[in-house]
Amino acid sequence: MCGIVGLHLREPALEPRLGELLAAMLGQVVERGPDSAGVAVYGDPRLSPPGRTVVSLLGTSKAEVEAVLPGTVAIDADATTVVHAGVGQLAAALPHATVIGSGEGFAVLKGTGNPVQLADAFGLADVTGWQGVGHTRMATESAVTPEGAHPFSVGPGQCLVHNGSFANHATIRRQLCAQGVEFDSENDSEVGARFVAHQLEQGADPEKALRLLCERFDGFYTLLVSTGDSFAVVRDAIACKPALVAETDAWVAMASEYRALDVLPGIENAHIFEPEPEEVYVWRR
């Protein structure tokens, strides 16, 4: 039992409130995942300045980054360090660090502990932007570590959050490894993220990638997948993991529980529905 929240803004006037709203949503699903939490945010000029490559790292710090790469901008956010530099440059300078997200206009922040306290440590309430995804985790398939927290971001500007479990993740992991795909954790959700990223890299759009996932993966799941221009939701064939979508002219939001949607402005006028089994829903910027 994990908690998922996501917010895709259509109204630019709401962008200064992205982090505030996402933090409020995250706070409503703490009981679903008290072990750890994470967010991916799109469009915050401090975390991800326009036109700059940004890398989110675990296993390092602002002080270490700035010591080995003088002049590089780094920001500490609990266990995560956000760095304004290229992946290759960082891999050479900090080979022990783990990349948990990279791309332009995009940053991933995650850690272990109480999700509300983590949101404060991330400074989430002050984040701006046009899209955000969050997750609170109750670990079932792997250890409680920052690496095991969601979102899993394994392609440029892409991320996946998951409520449920994949029954055949070991088989698909072996298949992906045989194709040269590398993994950072034992988490079953990372297998889903790697599968989707691999399909996108091969030319599929998010809808096709998630349809293929439904064909290949067994288990119970609700997934929220975001990219630099899209926001997508899918559930398994039984749809036993809860999910609600709310849509207005100003925003589209998804959450595991209604109370996480009730904090949003204009919710009283929203079209609210439960996603159908194995139907892929995609909204684009």
- Please report, in tens digits, the pLDDT of each residue of the chain (285 residues total): 799 999 999 999 999 999 999 999 999 999 999 999 999 999 999 999 999 999 999 999 999 999 999 999 999 999 999 999 999 999 999 999 999 999 999 999 999 999 999 999 999 999 999 999 999 998 776 788 898 899 999 999 999 999 999 999 999 999 999 999 999 888 899 999 999 999 999 999 999 999 999 999 999 999 999 999 999 999 999 999 999 999 999 999 999 999 999 999 999 999 999 999 999 999 999
* CA angle (34, 36, 38) in 5-degree steps: 125
Eight-class DSSP state of 139: -
Instruction: Give the torsion sign (CA, 258, 259, 263, 269).
Output: positive
- Give dist(CA 169, CA 141) in Å, integer: 10
- Give dist(CA 97, CA 56) in Å, integer: 10
One DSSP character per residue, 184-225 reads S-S-HHHHHHHHHHHHHHTT--HHHHHHHHHHH--EEEEEEE
- Give dist(CA 245, CA 257) in Å, integer: 10
Look at phi and psi of residue 239 and say left if phi exceeds 0, alpha if psi is from -120 to 50, else beta: left
Q: What contacts 103, CB < 8 A, 6 or more positions away?
A: 48, 53, 54, 156, 157, 158, 228
Q: Considering the candidates 2, 159, 214, 240, report the single residue annotated as catalytic.
A: 2
**Do the Cβ atoms of 240 and 220 come closer than 8 Å?**
yes
Eight-class DSSP state of 105: S
Q: Which residues pair with residue 77 across a beta bridge?
A: 80
Name the token pair of 85: 């530099």
Q: What is the pTM of this model?
A: 0.95
Name the token pair of 83: 């760095």
Residues 208-262: pLDDT tens digits?
999 999 999 999 999 999 999 999 999 999 999 999 999 999 999 999 999 999 9
2 is catalytic: yes
Q: What contacts 230, CB < 8 A, 6 or more positions away?
A: 206, 282, 283, 284, 285
Which H or E run contains 98?
Answer: strand 98-104
